[in-house]
Amino acid sequence: MLRSMAFLLCGSIALTAVAQEAKPTAVLSGLDNPCGVAVQGATGHVFIADHKGVHRLDPKSGKAHVEISGFPTDIYGKGPKYNIGPLGLAFWDDEHLIVGDGSRPDGDELVRIYKVGKDAPHADHPPIKEDAAVATLGPIKASEESAKGEGNFYGVASNGKSIFITCNGDDTKGWIAKSTATNGKPGALKLSIATKVATEVDAPVPVIFGPYGDLVVGQMGEVSTPPGDSLLSIYDPETGKLKKNYKTGLNDIAGLAYSPKTKKLYATDYSWSDPKAGGLFRLDIDGDSIKAVKIASLDKPTACAFDKNGVLYVAVFGTVPEGSEKPMGSLVKFDSGL
């Protein structure tokens, strides 16, 4: 197993900084630890998950409202500590949003699907209550396969047939959970891919579908040291088999997105212990190696998603000054061209 892993792991990595970094444009500020971004195909509305709930933004008008609220609060970390709520977002279809939970203890967390419709944001919009989902998946309770049960669902990917959720409960396994649809309805959420067993690195975080239907996963690695241990792993979504595993040289991959225009792959690096090294990167895959090219420095970026025109939206944690409680999170965008 180890030997085949070593064979799969590609030795060559390179980090390159571009001379002229791209400039992001702030489109929404005052967010409280934003962790999830999804773009609604039909409207172009951007949905952002933060501690307070799920926000809907119409980039054309600049208007935003809270779409879903009422989530409990969980605290991540022991110092610094972060209040977190809903985490990963992805669309099931044009009107249904999948929300991965981070607001409860491991073993109690849920994946909810909400009907969000297509109405534009307006000030007196009544938020959908957190428990008013049209479908609820989970929880994944403690079992022999997951010592404390699963939670902190950072990443959500859907192809309309299956939903994949990255979990951060049992650190011996690094599970990705899967729900398979029957007659158009999502089925039970089950543990599917033990990423840590496959890669020997902690913490699957972002998950997306690649251009050819593969499941593309960012394995964050350890957060307390900056060893550049993040991986990009490619799995067969049907069998869960690891097809390819790349060392990226990034510290803490938190977001992944393919440009619909250029088909290029982008990643955000949160870089916990060395935030200055973090930002948005393009991942250039060349055979068995990856070159991570820095596109822009960002202050603790998390999730990212493209709209159909190739505009990239990135959620950014930001840094709250000592003694302040003012949320410093934001949503920024990079205009088409990436």
Partner 1 sequence: MKFPPRFLFSVLFGMSLAASVAISADPPLGLPSVPVPSDNPMTAEKIALGKQLYFDGRLSADNKVSCASCHDPAKGFSNGDRFATGVEGKKGGRNSPTVINTAYGVLQFWDGRAKTLEDQALGPIQNPIEMNMTLAAVIKKLNGIDGYKSQFKKVFGTDGATADGIAKAIAAYERTVISGNAPFDKFKAGDTKALSEAAQRGQKLFFGKAHCSACHAGPNFSDNSFHNIGVGMDKKDFDKGRADISKLSGDTGAFKTPTLREIAKSGPYFHDGSAKTLEEVVDHYAKGGIPNEWLDEEIFNIKIAPAEKADLVKFMTEGLSSPDYPEHKAPELPK
Residues of the shown chain interacting with partner 1 in the complex, contacts defined by CB under 8 A: 1-3, 6, 77-81, 144, 147-148, 170-172, 196-197, 200-202, 222-225, 227, 229, 273
Report in angstroms how near the CB of residue 164 gets to partner 1 at its nearest: 22
CA–CA dist 271, 229 (Å, integer): 11
Q: Is 275 helix (H, G, I), strand (E, B) or coil?
A: helix
Structure tokens at 19: 């001379």
Report in angstroms how near the CB of residue 171 gets to partner 1 at its nearest: 4
Nearest to partner 1 of 5, 135 (CB atom): 5
Report in angstroms how near the CB of residue 145 gets to partner 1 at its nearest: 8
Nearest to partner 1 of 147, 293 (CB atom): 147
3-state helix, strand, coil in the chain (%, to 5): 5, 45, 50
- Could you tell me if residue 126 is left (phi over 0), alpha (psi between -120 and 50 degrees) or otherwise beta? beta
Other beta carbons within 10 angstroms of residue 91's beta carbon come to: 21
Nearest to partner 1 of 77, 337 (CB atom): 77
Report in angstroms how near the CB of residue 16 gets to partner 1 at its nearest: 17
Nearest to partner 1 of 12, 29 (CB atom): 12
Report in angstroms how near the CB of residue 78 gets to partner 1 at its nearest: 4
Nearest to partner 1 of 179, 195 (CB atom): 195
Work out whether strand 242-247 and strand 9-10 pair parallel, antiparallel, or are unpaired: parallel
Structure tokens at 309: 């025109």
CA–CA dist 46, 206 (Å, integer): 18
* CB < 8 Å & 24+ apart, contacts of 282-285: 282/338, 283/232, 283/248, 285/246
Nearest to partner 1 of 49, 201 (CB atom): 201
Nearest to partner 1 of 22, 223 (CB atom): 223
**H or E segment and range at residue 5:** helix 2-8
Nearest to partner 1 of 82, 209 (CB atom): 82
> 156 and 207 in contact (C-beta within 8 Å)?
yes
Report in angstroms how near the CB of residue 6 gets to partner 1 at its nearest: 6
Report in angstroms how near the CB of residue 229 gets to partner 1 at its nearest: 8
Q: Is 45 helix (H, G, I), strand (E, B) or coil?
A: coil
Nearest one of 240, 309, 300 to 270, comparing CA atoms: 300
Structure tokens at 317: 């944690």
Cα distances (Å, whole numbers) of residue 250 to 37, 42, 294: 21, 34, 10
Report in angstroms how near the CB of residue 112 gets to partner 1 at its nearest: 24
> 211 and 229 in contact (C-beta within 8 Å)?
no
Nearest to partner 1 of 169, 186 (CB atom): 169
Report in angstroms how near the CB of residue 273 gets to partner 1 at its nearest: 7
Q: Is 7 helix (H, G, I), strand (E, B) or coil?
A: helix
